[in-house]
Amino acid sequence: MTDKYTQFVSRGLGKDIARKLGLPQPVVLRRHKAGQPLIEGPVLVQGTGSGADELASALLSWKLDVRRHAVPREKLGAIILVLDELARPGDLEQPVLTAASSLRDLAPNARVITVSRAASDSADPAVAAARQGVDGLLRSLAKELRAGATGNGILLANGAGTTSPSTLGALRFFLSGRSAFVDGQFLTVTSAAGHLPADADKPLAGRVAVVTGAARGIGAAIARTLHRDGATLIVVDIPAAGDRLAAVANEVRGTALQLDISRDDAGQRIIDHAVARHGRLDIVIHNAGITRDKLLANMDAGRWNSVIAVNIAAQLSINEALLASEHFRNSPRIVSVASTSGIAGNRGQTNYAASKGGVTGMVRATAPLLAAHGGSINAVAPGFIETEMTARIPFATRELARRLNSLQQGGRPDDVAEAIAFLASDAAGGISGEVLRVCGQNLVGA
In angstroms, the CA 69 to CA 105 distance is: 13
Judgement on whether residues 181 and 295 belong to the same structural domain of the protein: no
Residue 147 CB neighbour total at 10 angstroms? 13
> Contacts from 241-250 at CB under 8 Å and sequence distance 24+?
241/215, 241/216, 244/215, 244/216, 245/214, 245/215, 248/214, 248/215, 248/216, 248/220, 248/223, 248/224
Judgement on whether residues 184 and 212 belong to the same structural domain of the protein: no
The answer to whether the beta carbons of residues 208 and 278 sit under 8 Å apart is yes
Final residue of a domain: which of 160, 189, 218? 189
Flag the least confident range among 13-27, 198-212, 336-350.
13-27
Judgement on whether residues 119 and 226 belong to the same structural domain of the protein: no
Q: Is residue 394 part of a domain?
A: yes
pLDDT score, position 73: 87
Is residue 289's pLDDT more than 60?
yes
Q: Is residue 218 part of a domain?
A: yes
Query: 133 is in which domain, residue-wise?
Result: 39-189
Q: Is residue 64 part of a domain?
A: yes
Q: Tell me the backbone φ, ψ of residue 93, rounded to 5 degrees.
A: -55, -55
Q: Under DSSP, is residue 44 helix (H, G, I), strand (E, B) or coil?
A: strand
Model confidence pLDDT, tens digit, residues 138-171: 999 999 999 999 999 999 999 999 999 999 999 9
Judgement on whether residues 164 and 236 belong to the same structural domain of the protein: no
Final residue of a domain: which of 189, 219, 237? 189
Judgement on whether residues 254 and 143 belong to the same structural domain of the protein: no
Q: Is residue 126 part of a domain?
A: yes
Judgement on whether residues 74 and 158 belong to the same structural domain of the protein: yes
The answer to whether the beta carbons of residues 196 and 425 sit under 8 Å apart is no
pLDDT score, position 17: 83
pLDDT band at 445 (very low <50, low <70, confident <90, very high): low
Judgement on whether residues 225 and 368 belong to the same structural domain of the protein: yes
- 258 strand-pairing partners: 237
Q: Is residue 274 part of a domain?
A: yes
Active site residues: 352
- Top pLDDT among 22 and 375 is at 375
Is residue 30's pLDDT more than 60?
yes
Q: Is residue 305 part of a domain?
A: yes
Judgement on whether residues 146 and 225 belong to the same structural domain of the protein: no
- Cβ-based burial of 331 (10 A; exposed 0-12, middle 13-18, buried ≥19): middle
- Counting DSSP H helices and E strands in the chain, the numbers are 16, 13
What mean pLDDT is reported for the chain? 93
pLDDT score, position 65: 96
Is residue 211's pLDDT more than 80?
yes
- The amino acid sitting at 437 is R
Judgement on whether residues 182 and 315 belong to the same structural domain of the protein: no
pTM value is 0.94
Is residue 16's pLDDT more than 90?
no
pLDDT band at 39 (very low <50, low <70, confident <90, very high): very high
Q: Is residue 2 part of a domain?
A: no
Find the CATH number of the domain harbouring 148. Answer: 3.40.50.720
Q: Is residue 307 part of a domain?
A: yes
pLDDT score, position 362: 97
- Top pLDDT among 299 and 12 is at 299
pLDDT score, position 1: 59
Judgement on whether residues 339 and 397 belong to the same structural domain of the protein: yes
Judgement on whether residues 217 and 348 belong to the same structural domain of the protein: yes
Which residue, 78, 48, 46, is CA-closest to 62? Answer: 78
pLDDT score, position 13: 81
> How many separate domains does the chain show?
2
Give percent of the chain above pLDDT 70. 99
Judgement on whether residues 123 and 175 belong to the same structural domain of the protein: yes
- The amino acid sitting at 6 is T
